[in-house]
Amino acid sequence: MSGLILCTKKSDIPYKITDSNTNIYSIEELAYYLYNNAYFVDDSFFTEELVNYIETKLKLKKVSEKLKFAIKQKMDFTEKVMIVITGSMYYTESEMKSFEKELKSISSKSMLERMNARAKMLYENNKLLGAKIVYENILAGTSQTKQEKPEKGFYADVHFGMAKILCRMFYFKEALEEFELAYSLDDSDDILKAIVNTKLMMKKTESAEVDFSKEREIDSNLVDECELDFRDLVRDIKLSGEYESIERIFTYDGRRNLDEYYDNMQAVIGGWKEEYRSEIS
């Protein structure tokens, strides 16, 4: 577990969460784990062993009694998690309210559905590597149980999500393969557009030879629309102030001081590197 967590009471003996091979030593660490891994746990997480650990090792009798009552009354997963979260006093009231709302939205989902939802959340927060790993775990079937038999549309959504990440990472060839897998499971216009747009990106950025004959057989109008939209997008980017600014920075006109030119260029590249590192962290 990375990061600094201030703990009120800490045990010398850890409680081991076997599924993730994680040791926790305090109620704050337990709350942190649940807050960041709610998509991967269910009611079975709240074992008698965990409750006893909270009571005997962390000396938090009130929290353990609330959990015992919740388990006895067969309260739902959200309520049990929130007992730990509120008992830790680690998160702010607004954070807890937001998290409780999120918990309620995922409590009825299967484990694979939760993982898919978490991958989407990570993607939306620009945590590309984290999202990619979750998608890889889903596709590898590491968490699939015999009871879970997702429909084709579920896996189409997973392949589509993986493809978007690969596009953001500039792996256009691999992204195209994922988009095509998604389309084989769900022949929607959105996925077909993604296939065409990925090919257009490959043509523009890699000078790749691309063939739209298959896509034109399916919907020639859609291909034409994508080509027009892509052309307009490229034009708009070139006309944007940001593009003009970057072009000036990267174009040496012979009038500027050479050291200043390289410093400005490296500053822009450095910013891009930091942005990319944050996305794959």
**Residue 94 within a domain:** yes
Q: Which of 75, 106, 137 is the last residue of a domain?
A: 106
**Residue 172 within a domain:** yes
Query: Does pTM top 0.85 for this prediction?
Result: no
Residue 231 lies in domain = 111-241
The domain that contains 206 carries what CATH number? Answer: 1.25.40.10
Distance from C-alpha of 198 to C-alpha of 174, rounded to nearest angstrom: 10
**Residue 23 within a domain:** yes
**Residue 191 within a domain:** yes
pLDDT digits (tens, 9 = 90+) for 191-248: 999 999 999 999 988 888 999 999 999 999 999 999 999 999 888 877 777 767 777 6
Q: Do 143 and 234 sit in the same domain of this protein?
A: yes
Percentage helix, strand, coil for the chain under 3-state DSSP, each rounded to 5: 70, 5, 25
**Residue 2 within a domain:** no
**Residue 3 within a domain:** no
- Pull the structure tokens for residue 179: 């988009």
**What are the strands, taking DSSP E only, across 18-127?**
22-26
User: At residue 133, does pLDDT exceed 50?
Assistant: yes
Q: How many domains does the chain have?
A: 3
pLDDT digits (tens, 9 = 90+) for 94-118: 889 888 888 888 777 787 888 888 7
Q: Do 207 and 171 sit in the same domain of this protein?
A: yes
